[in-house]
Amino acid sequence: MSNLVSSYNPDVLSCIANLSNDEVFTPPEVANAMLDMLPQELFSDPNTTFLDPATKSGVFLREIAKRLLVGLEPTIPDLQERLDHILHKQLYGIAMTELTSLLSRRSLYCSKYPNSVYSISVFDDIQGNIRFKNIKHRWKDGKCVYCGASVSEYGEAKRSGLEQHAYEFIHNTNPKEIWNMKFDVIIGNPPYQLSDGGNKNSAKPIYQFFVQQAMKLRPRYLTMIIPSRWFAGGKGLDDFRRDMLEDKHISSMVFYNNAKDCFPGISLGGGVCYFLWNRDVESLCEYTDINGINKTTVIRDLNEFPVFVRYNEAVSIIHKVQRKIEKTVCDTMSGRNPFGFESFVKGKTQPQTAQDCKLYYSGGIGYVSPNEITKSRDLVNKYNVMISRASAEHAGEPDSSGMFNVLSVVRILKPKEVCTDSYLLAFSTDDEEQAKNYAEYVCTKFYRFLVLQAVTSISLSKDKFLFVPMLDMSERWTDERLYEKYKLADNEISFIESLIKDKRITGD
């Protein structure tokens, strides 16, 4: 019977965790780090119940079983009796797909069919406590009313014979009906996104639905690992961000700036985080920021700012800036598509008349007639500081050295120069010198560092500049002057310098 315990082998699941997919598999070491956040006496209580509502490899259930096998030994000395009790009465899962249901059962029961002779604890049916139900989306106006999936991508006609990815846990209004029981702990790594039928393989996040459904069940503890894009952005995540930041039951959170440090081989802009939600306690949050080899833990109020600032070291810098009570650069920035040209517009290759304007588009320069300009005509004859609407890094990920450029293009547009929707206008003026001063301000590490605090994806918008102060542009600002103006300490300066690369005005 001792062979039953040794049958748990984390190496296989570590390999699976390296597979890249929207449904990211969790490495065993990450699952155990999340389990370490829980009160460990839970694993010595034969009445504690656990649910993974998004099981894929079965790693969470398997690692919980290993802890319970040790913790319950004094209470249930016989190994087989202890296994039967744990697997029948304490561990439950809802699989993502039929394939992952088989994989999860194999991880937990050592057999994909727990009613077979190969299962380490025999059930009466083929599912055991890891269920999979082939749920259908409910369509309205071309979208699923539960998860927002597009009928064009996930309709039965398109996916005949394929998985529908209509996950049972979130495709109902009352998750209590699934198991009809209470759970002490809900833990998991939910799927992150589904196509919403938009342009260029547009997708919308769905992990927030799993968190929200889990909270409806009112477990004693909830811990999930999810993308961190909700900190300051994400499609349709405004309400979720507000609810999370205002929730005083989130007692602990761990953030990985680079998702690859948590999920090797996975590209996930904005990083990932896992958190512990404690139903019975309200408190400030013990927040751990992991940035490469650097790790800091601070007690934080998650709701201190309109967005969540993911770097602990950045908080004191923002405080010093905000004490000056200055306006922000958001007031001078344009909205999207400043001159009315979509991103795909390239204009003519040569000017047709002397009045034609130079058009900057992503990847080149064209020429357009002033009559084609449909917005901001009053800015055409000004000096405009243009910045890219896409961040310099892929989806906000740092480079191999852990550093950021943040903005890929910073260019001064002269009168009769315009741009497409690929860019934003950060500043407009009749004074060429002021335009140059602002462009140089944008290129400071200080400016781009403050922008970074609100960036969690590749897309930039004016709200991402909420921490950047607007200064007198008749003056020339350098990092040295800015550090002195805001009385930054040596460690704060060092942190900015370690995170942000040097930059020059595009075209200089």
Q: What is the pLDDT of residues 484-507, one digit of tens each?
A: 999 999 999 999 999 999 999 987
For range 259-263, the mean pLDDT: 87
Where helices occur in 227-288 by DSSP H, the ranges are 238-246
The fold of the 3-310 domain, in CATH, is: Rossmann fold (3.40.50)
Tokens 């459904």 correspond to what residue? 213
Q: 184: buried, middle or exposed (CB in 10 Å: 19+, 13-18, 0-12)?
A: middle
pLDDT of residue 24: 76
Average pLDDT in the chain: 90
Confidence check: pLDDT of 260 > 80? yes
pLDDT of residue 155: 84
pLDDT of residue 7: 44
What are the tens digits of pLDDT across the range 62-95? 999 999 999 999 999 999 999 999 999 999 999 9
For range 465-483, the mean pLDDT: 97
Residues 6+ apart with CB under 8 A from 137: 144, 146, 147, 149, 151, 154, 155, 164, 166, 171
Q: What's the predicted TM-score (pTM) here?
A: 0.87
What are the tens digits of pLDDT across the range 100-150? 999 999 999 999 999 999 999 999 999 999 999 988 899 999 889 999 888
pLDDT of residue 479: 98
Residue 264 to residue 15: CA distance in whole angstroms: 10
pLDDT of residue 16: 47
Cα distances from 455 to residues 122, 256, 393, 462, in angstroms, run: 50, 15, 11, 11
For range 155-184, the mean pLDDT: 85
Confidence check: pLDDT of 443 > 90? yes
Q: What percent of the chain has pLDDT over 70?
A: 92
77's tokens: 């000395």
Q: What percent of the chain has pLDDT over 90?
A: 74
Q: How confident is the model at residue 5 (pLDDT cuts 50, 70, 90)?
A: very low
What are the tens digits of pLDDT across the range 270-289? 889 999 999 999 999 999 99
Q: How confident is the model at residue 13 (pLDDT cuts 50, 70, 90)?
A: low
For range 210-215, the mean pLDDT: 96
Residue 392 to residue 372: CA distance in whole angstroms: 29
pLDDT of residue 391: 85
- Residue 131: CB atoms within 10 A of its CB come to 16
pLDDT of residue 153: 83
Confidence check: pLDDT of 12 > 70? no
For range 163-175, the mean pLDDT: 89
Between 381 and 508, name the one with better pLDDT.
Answer: 381
Least confident range of 56-60, 153-157, 189-193 = 153-157
pLDDT of residue 3: 42
Nearest to 223 by CA among 198, 204, 249, 202: 249
Residues of the chain with CATH 3.40.50.150: 3-310
The answer to whether 217 and 252 are in contact (CB under 8 A) is no
Q: How confident is the model at residue 10 (pLDDT cuts 50, 70, 90)?
A: very low
> How far does CA 487 lie from the centroid of its chain?
32
pLDDT of residue 77: 97
pLDDT of residue 491: 96
